[in-house]
Chain A
Amino acid sequence: MVVPGFTPDETDAVWLSLRVAFWAMLGSLPVALATAMVLARTRFWGKSLLDGLVHLPLVMPPVVTGYLLLLLFGRHGPLGRFFAESLGLVFAFRWTGAALASAVMAFPLMVRAIRLSLEAVDRRLEEAAGTLGAGGVFVFLMITLPLIAPGIVAGMVLSFARSLGEFGATITFVSNIPGETRTLPLAIYTLTQSPGGDPAVLRLTVVAIILSMLALLASETLSRRLAWRLSGD
């Protein structure tokens, strides 16, 4: 795709970033929802350990996360081999790996947003649904899920925005391959390292700002509309 004023490399980087962020967001959603349910609703020995593990990418240096991903999901890593052999899904030095790195880095943010909304759900409404004949699965689908929808949307937007900006873990895990793993931040970084790259850096910076603003506005509008629906007015 050719956009006036942009080189093909630059538009590639923007589209790649959007694709990586989209799949990172979508792929981590079910896992984040399940993790949030476990953290918000259950009590078991070792829960704080799980909580810590979920939050680890938030506090660890991204390079370390990237390196661990390389060890686990690299060509010779145990999980990397498993996924390659059973599902044909290869992460190492592919855009899928960039999506995985983004998903892991954004995971704590998504879990946190969903967990907070789960904890705000009035459990007595679920109880009431039970007395009306709804079993566990139906209560979740018809009561819990609609009530936490604003939290899910917020989590998804946060995850998407965080993924757009992912740098450290991505470059460590899947390197900086043009057209495959060179996302917007990596492209900007590369351009700042090359002479005469300044105008291009500026162009991409503007794109990054616009994308971030759009994501925020979308989340704002969506969650306002959902909050209105849920207020019962």
Chain B
Amino acid sequence: MLEVDLEHRLGAFELDIHFRSGRGLTALFGRSGAGKTSVINAIAGLICPQSGRIVVDGSVLIDTERRIRTPAHRRRIGYVFQEGRLFPHLTVRQNLLFGRWFASGPAPAARFDDVVDLLGISSLLDRRPGRLSGGEKQRVAIGRALLASPRLLLMDEPLASLDARRKDEILPYIERLRDQAGVPIVYVSHVVGEVTRLATTVVLISEGRVRAVGSVAEVMGRAELYPMVGRFEAGAVLAARLAAHDPRWGLSELAGTFGKLTVPRLEAPVGAALRVRIRARDVILATSPPVGTSALNVFGCRVEALFPIEEAALEVQLRLDGDERLLARVTRRSGAALGLSPGREVFALIKTVAIDRSSLGRQDGGAGLDDEVDGFEEE
């Protein structure tokens, strides 16, 4: 359990952050310069907020009112920095074991072999950090932080300096960490795909303030939040399970509370839990059930709210059958022509190919993939 309340002024920039979060991965999400890194620096003790209180698992790290301030090295907060920050004069093994020297208690929470296996770094142990690839460095940095037995793990855009392939290499490790290591994670990112895929809880931060806290689907489904998070496009997130593959047409079928969704074939086993992000501009609205269309996915839904964006466009927030949200972007002219208003029943058409593949990620939850497959076959 993490409680953060802090106020801090840096020149003209004012940080005023209040949120609570629990187990799993909490993503601090917002555009660059929103103050996300300052928040985790305050949690780690690298900066001291002018006023505030931070509590992790019941122990007070800082409380300016009661004049409590635990020094950084006694906080037991792991920190994975954007640039890794491995010690260049030590081998990978020595880097990993660095925190062991200072970890109190007889039995470290994470065993060396387990962490090395989890991160797939056993072949790197005797090498020096200088010749490791960016992805390898980040995995070692994660392992180093974990082996110091932290009660909370902070990750500051750990993928930012990596190319797309390296990112894909690390993402599964972070998912495993979230699901298996039992250490809560606070993850800073401005990338919507990463947040969609990894977050248990999203804390949306803009201009030094928390604008929304909730699950990925809740926060991503709120159209009014998008102007705050940056230039990338709005898109709702749906939770789904892989129901079947269709090898003949190269498609996969996903099932969720909203119904069924057909997507390009996914490299995941049947039964896998996924999150799908559907960009608002890939959703077409119709007032009657469409006939003779090439779109494979049609959902009946109700208009919840309309938000004018830009000069000619409208962001439409929709509620699906299963209570999940969908976002659609239409021109204002179309909005008027269709008579869109809150409460109106409409049909949403999603082009199959429009689904953002990189946002398809495994959902959190402790159950392994194999268990889920078994469960599916019994149904």
Interface residues of chain A, those whose CB is within 8 Å of chain B, are 122, 124-125, 127-135, 138, 142-143, 146-147, 229-233
Cβ of B178 under 8 Å from chain A: no
Contact of B129 (CB < 8 Å), options: A138, A146, A232:
A232
**Are A128 and B89 interface neighbours, CB within 8 A?**
no
16 extra A-B contacts, CB within 8 A, seeds A124-B85, A134-B73, A143-B87? A122-B85, A124-B83, A125-B85, A128-B79, A129-B87, A130-B45, A130-B73, A132-B73, A132-B102, A133-B99, A133-B148, A134-B98, A134-B101, A134-B102, A147-B89, A231-B88
Cβ of B270 under 8 Å from chain A: no
Cβ of B72 under 8 Å from chain A: yes
Pairs across A and B, CB under 8 Å, 25 listed: A124-B81, A124-B85, A127-B46, A128-B81, A129-B87, A129-B98, A130-B46, A130-B73, A131-B45, A131-B72, A131-B75, A131-B78, A131-B148, A132-B98, A133-B73, A133-B101, A133-B102, A134-B73, A135-B71, A138-B101, A143-B87, A146-B89, A147-B89, A230-B89, A232-B88
Report if A132-B89 is in contact (Cβ < 8 Å); known contacts: A138-B101, A233-B128.
no
Report if A125-B87 is in contact (Cβ < 8 Å); known contacts: A132-B144, A134-B102, A231-B130.
yes
**Are A232 and B99 interface neighbours, CB within 8 A?**
no
Cβ of B170 under 8 Å from chain A: no
Residue of B nearest to A233 (CB): B130
B contact residues around A229 at 8 Å (CB): 89
Q: How far is the CB of A226 from chain B (nearest CB, A)?
A: 9
Q: Among A124, A131, A138, A231, which residue has the most Cβ atoms of chain B within 10 A?
A: A131
Contact with A along B44-67 (1 / 0, CB 8 A): 111000000000000000000000
Interface residues on B, range: 20 to 34
Cβ of B314 under 8 Å from chain A: no
Residue of A nearest to B137 (CB): A232
Inter-chain CA distance A203–B110, complex, in Å, is: 67
A contact residues around B129 at 8 Å (CB): 232
Inter-chain CA distance A30–B79, complex, in Å, is: 34
Cβ of B77 under 8 Å from chain A: yes
Inter-chain CA distance A220–B81, complex, in Å, is: 35
Inter-chain CA distance A147–B129, complex, in Å, is: 14
4 closest A-B pairs (Cβ-Cβ)?
Answer: A232-B130, A133-B102, A232-B88, A132-B99
B residues 116-167 touching A (CB-CB < 8 Å): 128-131, 144-145, 148
B contact residues around A132 at 8 Å (CB): 73, 78, 98-99, 102, 144-145, 148
Inter-chain CA distance A229–B129, complex, in Å, is: 11
A contact residues around B76 at 8 Å (CB): 133
Contact of A138 (CB < 8 Å), options: B83, B87, B102:
B102
Inter-chain CA distance A233–B77, complex, in Å, is: 29
**Are B89 and A232 interface neighbours, CB within 8 A?**
yes
Cβ of B103 under 8 Å from chain A: yes
Q: How far is the CB of B83 from chain A (nearest CB, A)?
A: 8
Contact with A along B86-102 (1 / 0, CB 8 A): 11110000000011011
A contact residues around B99 at 8 Å (CB): 132-133
Inter-chain CA distance A33–B132, complex, in Å, is: 33
Residue of A nearest to B75 (CB): A131
Inter-chain CA distance A232–B140, complex, in Å, is: 14
B contact residues around A133 at 8 Å (CB): 73-74, 76, 99, 101-103, 148
Q: How far is the CB of A211 from chain B (nearest CB, A)?
A: 31
**Are A233 and B148 interface neighbours, CB within 8 A?**
no
A contact residues around B83 at 8 Å (CB): 124
A contact residues around B98 at 8 Å (CB): 129, 132, 134, 142
B contact residues around A134 at 8 Å (CB): 73, 98, 101-102
**Are B103 and A232 interface neighbours, CB within 8 A?**
no
Inter-chain CA distance A129–B98, complex, in Å, is: 8
Inter-chain CA distance A147–B85, complex, in Å, is: 14
Inter-chain CA distance A230–B144, complex, in Å, is: 19
Inter-chain CA distance A28–B208, complex, in Å, is: 50
Residue of A nearest to B98 (CB): A132
